[in-house]
Amino acid sequence: MSSGQNGRYTLVADIGGTNARFALVAPGQLQPEQQITLAVDDFDTIDAAIRAYLEQAGIGHDETPREACLAIACPTSRDWISMTNNGWSFSREALQRSLALEQLQVINDYAAQAYAAPHLKADELFRVGGGEALTGHPIALVGPGTGLGVGGLIFDNQGQVALVTEGGHVDFAPTTELEIDILRYLLRYHEHVSAERLLSGMGLTNLHKALTDIRGATGGPLTPAQISAGALERGDAICRETLEIFCAMLGSVAGNTALTLGAQGGVFITGGIIPRMLDLFATSQFRARFEAKGRFRDYMAAIPTQVVIAAQPGLLGASAALHRHSL
């Protein structure tokens, strides 16, 4: 692994719509240290937030990092970065000059999740079925959260390359009679029913509304938190069915992604929804639906599926991205 210039720490960040998480990585190391989370709304610019973090971390002028990798929740392919869910916008070239950085990488936050995956420890993962991952083969990531993230990681003789996709917006493909009825319900309101329409926070609400209509039940729309509480705490039948079908559908989509990428290196379930219901997830139809790919059932059965339960995988991924050609 490369070390920081002149033995200095390198700077890593994972920045979303609400929080900006920062950390430092010591020369020759991968694990982030001195993690601090700042509220995006407290700062007018990303430059100001970075300087505030360095001050809080006790980094003096002579120790200022010369290398940085920022994982950001928005497209990052151009010089001008405009964040999707907060007001920060900046030129990466101007930010690099302002912070006197010799190297600055700005990557998509889901790319950071991908780069983190091979470096997660056993206690940062919750395994649900499968055999052993094949070293050097592609890895797939599927992350139901605010939206549905889909991506991967491939390996070549130069290191690791993250695949950042818009796979959450593929067509929803029902595989049961009930799911066909759910699709019919959603087609009343949406011209295009994507996987994300069902496998996300809003997806839980959409799925619950569809089941309420199909079952002829009553009750207004519920938030994802209300649905989870109804299923896990109050024993509400439709809320419970909502979570069960959510997990089953996720198994189908994760399996499709694994087939598409040839992800014999394993599939990682990211995002904030599944870690909140691990017991239900482990006993759900997720794994059965993941493997239910006809003639490729044996191929799928060998692929391990794991839920990422690490606290800050984005920071680890930013560190790995910065040094990916020498890991």
Going by the annotation, the residues of the binding site are 13-18
Q: Which two tokens stand for residue 101?
A: 């950085």
Query: For residue 214, what are the CA distances in angstroms to 180, 181, 238, 267?
Result: 11, 8, 11, 33
Q: Could you count the other beta carbons within 10 Å of the beta carbon of residue 156?
A: 8
E-strand stretches of 65-202: 67-72, 80-82, 89-91, 103-108, 125-127, 139-144, 148-156, 159-164
Query: For residue 263, what are the CA distances in angstroms to 81, 139, 175, 252, 299?
Result: 31, 5, 22, 14, 10
Residues in contact with 216: Cβ distance below 8 Å, sequence separation at least 6, in sequence order: none
Numbered residues of the known binding site for ATP: 13-18
Query: For residue 178, what are the CA distances in angstroms to 25, 45, 112, 201, 252?
Result: 50, 48, 36, 21, 15
Which amino acid, 247?
Answer: C
* Neighbour-count burial of 204, counting CB atoms closer than 10 A to its CB (0-12 exposed, 13-18 middle, 19+ buried): buried
Query: For residue 318, what are the CA distances in angstroms to 119, 134, 314?
Result: 12, 24, 6
DSSP H or E stretch at residue 36: strand 33-39
Q: Which of 80, 113, 176, 45 is nearest to 315 (CA)?
A: 113
